Structure 1
Amino acid sequence: MTGYADDLALAHLLADAADAVSTARFRALDLRVEAKPDLTPVSDADTAVEREIRALLAEHRPADGLLGEEYGEAPASGPGGRRWVVDPIDGTKNFIRGVPVWATLIALLEGDHPVAGLVSAPALGRRWWAARGGGAYAGPDAAGGTPIRVSGVTELADASFCYSSLDGWIATGRLDGMLGIMRDSWRSRAYGDFYGYMLLAEGALDVMVEPELSLWDIAALVPIVTEAGGTFTDLAGAPAPAGDMGTENSAVASNGPLHADILARLGRPAEH
């Protein structure tokens, strides 16, 4: 294991606590759901999970910074620019409808660079985790993890392509490129949120793309995909994510051999 072994162990501890809170509220008849200012939904499970993680980080890593989707940013008080980035429930719309594809995302950044990430999907009975230089793993828990690796597919005609909903691609002027990829790939499906990236890291699909994400949506995913041998950039081909809380990110994640073709097809908006 790498020099981030203690951090990954803490991430598993945070995930254990998060899972206990979220699974208790999943499909609860008294689940409370409100609309945030951006009109996206937030449940009482989202806020409860983030509060639990914040309390544990205050106990175990009081000098580290923390950015959470629901309660914002607490700057680091120690050296090194370390901060945790947390999405308490990625896939809230699935969560509130009783769809089991949702997860808690936990990342550790040094400066703007994600160096460790963990994704815990308790309703699926599965976790994925990685740290810089240590490979990527998946399993039911830390003790049951096995190495994962991206696929070796080299041609789009043989590839399984995953994407977010089409609305964002329409808004960015890249719908034509998206439809072209969907026509030319072997299979296309929208599995949603974190899940496409994790299936990519496991080699079950070959490309995952999204046009608009926040830092907490993406930070934990990057180490897992890249340590599994994949490539992760934004639509311009720059390393993702951008580290600023207010910066909108885009994501092109692939097994590597397909990356240049996908970027060429999606990199420029259509001219009208």
Structure 2
Amino acid sequence: MSTYSKELEVAQLAVQRASILTKKVFHEKAKGTISKDDASPVTIGDFGAQALIIQAIKKNFPEDQVVGEEEASTLINDTKLRDQIWAFVKDTTLKDANAEKIIGGPIGTVDAMLDAIDAGNSAGGAKGRIWALDPIDGTKGFLRGGQYAVCLALMVDGDVKVGVLGCPNLPVDDAAPLTAETGVDQTDAEGKGVLFSAILGQGATSRPLGTAGLGESKAIHMKPVEDITQATFCESVEAGHSSHGDQHAIVTKLGVTKPSVRMDSQAKYGSIARGAGDIYLRLPVRADYQEKIWDHAAGDLIVREAGGEVTDTLGRRLDFSKGRTLQENKGVVAAPRTVHGRVLEVVKEVLAKK
């Protein structure tokens, strides 16, 4: 039975290189705009990171499919935007020749970049090897210097086997506590930048998010929660992404006394997986909302491999086999296995009263 060690190495190096690009884009281009219909930093970063990651996947696993968020059609006629993206893509490399050899080295031409971006057009599904990719998860966090993540996961026949998260603005130190400031006013300065990884059945790890080959990894585990009232609770920054009102009612009913930590992206999954936080809730803001698979696949696996439980609000495992969305699930409840049942019980009680 495959250990997926090659897939993990490629994913880690690809995410690391893409994270370097996003950091360069932020420092050179961030102006506070959030439109994805113009040459905003998030647009340049999204397209550029997607190109670099898909190139690495296709070099090593040419038959694999990719479910990516972006497509290159808008770049065919928008030559200014295309050239801005290309300027970052062609110059972004890892400072390690062997690592670059593994993931394919620099992309050679603009056309090759566009082809790589467009290779993220898989519809997903329950058969075959499919990668779920979010080149920048946490748009607003990226722009304001808060938390964001470069996210990549491999699904085989609908089951997540490998997950990698690059979080440039999280502290390397797994023991660093989460505070209200963690989600805002962060930098990628010395001591920041962490790469979370997991293979199904083999545990979860963290390592510094470097600029060359892969740094030394450490096993991570969710923190035992003996007193749920002292738990650290994570939620999305944007009320449009998750129901803050319902979440407040739930944590109040649980007796949680600490203020919630609001932060963007799957950095929340990584934070609770290493014990810096404890509980992550993402509750639907409307009945017809469907989560995207690329927003959860890597984090779901990393938390479960670190000793956590991840379900929807009805207690069902997240189902990544239904296409590009989690159409069979409603919301997300992630917590240590020892307290997940209690958290889920209160989630159901609060949502039943709506």
Work out whether the TM-score is over 0.5: yes
**Structure 2: how far apart are the matches of 1:199 and 1:139?**
13
Residue aligning to 1:253: 334
How far off is 1:131 after superposition?
Answer: 0.2
Residue-pair matches, total: 262
Residue aligning to 2:344: 263
Of the three residues 300, 306, 309, the one matched with 1:222 is 300
Contact in 1 for aligned 2:132/2:155 (Cα 8 Å): yes
**Structure 2: how far apart are the matches of 1:254 and 1:83?**
27
Contact in 2 for aligned 1:49/1:88 (Cα 8 Å): yes
Counterpart residue type for residue 103 of structure 1: A
Cα shift readout 1:30-89 (whole Å, capped 9, x = no counterpart): 76956358xxx942111111112122222211101100112352369xxx6111111001
Cα shift readout 1:99-134 (whole Å, capped 9, x = no counterpart): 3x2120010001221111000123332111010111
How far off is 1:270 after superposition?
Answer: 4.4
Change (3 A) 1:182 1:192: farther
Contact in 1 for aligned 2:130/2:154 (Cα 8 Å): yes
Change (3 A) 1:32 1:97: closer
Contact in 2 for aligned 1:105/1:216 (Cα 8 Å): yes
Contact in 2 for aligned 1:33/1:43 (Cα 8 Å): no
**Structure 2: how far apart are the matches of 1:36 and 1:43?**
5
Counterpart residue type for residue 159 of structure 2: H
**Structure 2: how far apart are the matches of 1:34 and 1:189?**
23
Q: Which runs of 5+ in 1 are unaligned?
A: none
**Structure 2: how far apart are the matches of 1:50 and 1:176?**
34
How far off is 1:192 after superposition?
Answer: 2.9
Of the three residues 91, 104, 110, the one matched with 2:138 is 91
Cα shift readout 1:130-154 (whole Å, capped 9, x = no counterpart): 1011111001153311000111113
Of the three residues 126, 132, 136, the one matched with 2:194 is 126
Residue aligning to 1:139: 207
**Structure 2: how far apart are the matches of 1:201 and 1:121?**
13
**Structure 2: how far apart are the matches of 1:93 and 1:111?**
33
Contact in 1 for aligned 2:32/2:144 (Cα 8 Å): no
Of the three residues 91, 101, 105, the one matched with 2:151 is 105
Is 1:15 paired with 2:15? Answer: yes
**Structure 2: how far apart are the matches of 1:180 and 1:219?**
25
SS of 1:35's partner is coil
Contact in 2 for aligned 1:176/1:270 (Cα 8 Å): no
Q: Which runs of 5+ in 2 are unaligned?
A: 72-119, 169-187, 285-290
**Structure 1: how far apart are the matches of 2:160 and 2:337?**
19
SS of 1:237's partner is coil
Is 1:116 paired with 2:194? Answer: no
How far off is 1:194 after superposition?
Answer: 1.4
Residue aligning to 2:122: 74
**Structure 2: how far apart are the matches of 1:190 and 1:175?**
13
Cα shift readout 1:157-207 (whole Å, capped 9, x = no counterpart): 12111122444554xxx8346324146114222233212211111112211
Contact in 1 for aligned 2:65/2:131 (Cα 8 Å): yes
Residue aligning to 1:185: 256
Which protein has the bigger strand share? 1
TM-score (norm 2): 0.67
Counterpart residue type for residue 28 of structure 1: E
SS of 1:245's partner is coil
Contact in 2 for aligned 1:67/1:86 (Cα 8 Å): yes
Residue aligning to 2:276: 204
Q: Percent of aligned pairs with the same residue?
A: 28
SS of 1:12's partner is helix
**Structure 2: how far apart are the matches of 1:232 and 1:180?**
17
How far off is 1:231 after superposition?
Answer: 0.6
Could you say what the CA RMSD is over the residues aligned between the two structures, in angstroms?
Answer: 2.6
SS of 1:137's partner is strand
**Structure 1: how far apart are the matches of 2:222 and 2:34?**
38
Change (3 A) 1:65 1:139: same
